[in-house]
């Protein structure tokens, strides 16, 4: 992923009000290992239900304000819709995003299940063991990254639809 600046992030938000943008906390960008990410996702430490997701779509940064469901899955397992990773249900959350433009002003939103910590980019890089008859671990991670990017684009397209 190409690095993001604070200005890139604040200007990228497609579904935020000016006050939300002004008060949005920015994670420690100097600590990011950008080449190991498909997107930057973080939760707001001052609000248990607010999260943010920013990525490069073509040459443009696209950011979304997310709202985590207050009720969490408790038992069993769940699959993240972005990284397609099965994990304990408590580690996957329904996130909604108000749609951009007029649709969002009417209150329309879209939702999907995402890793609760918004760290899909890190999770997909846990390489499987190497087996002679299977693709190399690097190929597996590359395929996971491509699928994650494709699913992220599809979610962003739903947020931007009719914007």
| pLDDT digit string, tens, across residues 24-39 | 999 999 999 999 999 9
Cα 1 to its chain centre, rounded Å, is 13
Backbone angles phi, psi at 141, to 5 degrees: -65, -40
E-strand stretches of the chain: 40-43, 50-57, 60-68, 77-79, 86-88, 92-98, 109-115
Q: What is the pLDDT of residue 163?
A: 58
d(CA 50, CA 95): 9
> Which ranges of the chain have pLDDT less than 70?
163
What is the pTM assigned to this prediction? 0.91
Residue 137 has a CB neighbour count (10 Å cut-off) of 15
End-to-end CA distance of the chain: 25
Residue 117's pLDDT is: 96
- Helices and strands: H and E segment counts in the chain: 5, 7
């Amino acid at each position: 992923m190409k690095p993001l600046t604070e200005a890139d992030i604040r200007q990228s938000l497609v579904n935020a009000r000016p006050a939300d943008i002004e008060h949005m906390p920015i994670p420690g960008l100097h600590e990011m290992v950008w080449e190991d990410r498909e997107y930057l996702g973080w939760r707001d430490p001052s609000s248990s239900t607010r999260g943010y997701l920013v990525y490069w779509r073509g040459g443009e940064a696209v950011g979304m304000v997310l709202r985590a469901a207050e009720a969490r899955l408790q038992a069993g397992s769940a699959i993240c819709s972005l990284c397609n990773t099965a994990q304990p249900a408590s580690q996957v959350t329904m996130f909604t995003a108000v749609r951009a433009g007029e649709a969002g002003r009417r209150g329309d939103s879209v939702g999907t299940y995402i890793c609760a910590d918004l760290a899909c980019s890190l999770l997909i890089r846990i390489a499987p063991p190497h087996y002679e008859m299977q693709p190399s671990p690097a190929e597996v991670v590359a395929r996971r990254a491509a699928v994650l990017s494709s699913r992220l684009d599809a979610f962003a397209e739903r947020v931007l639809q009719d914007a």
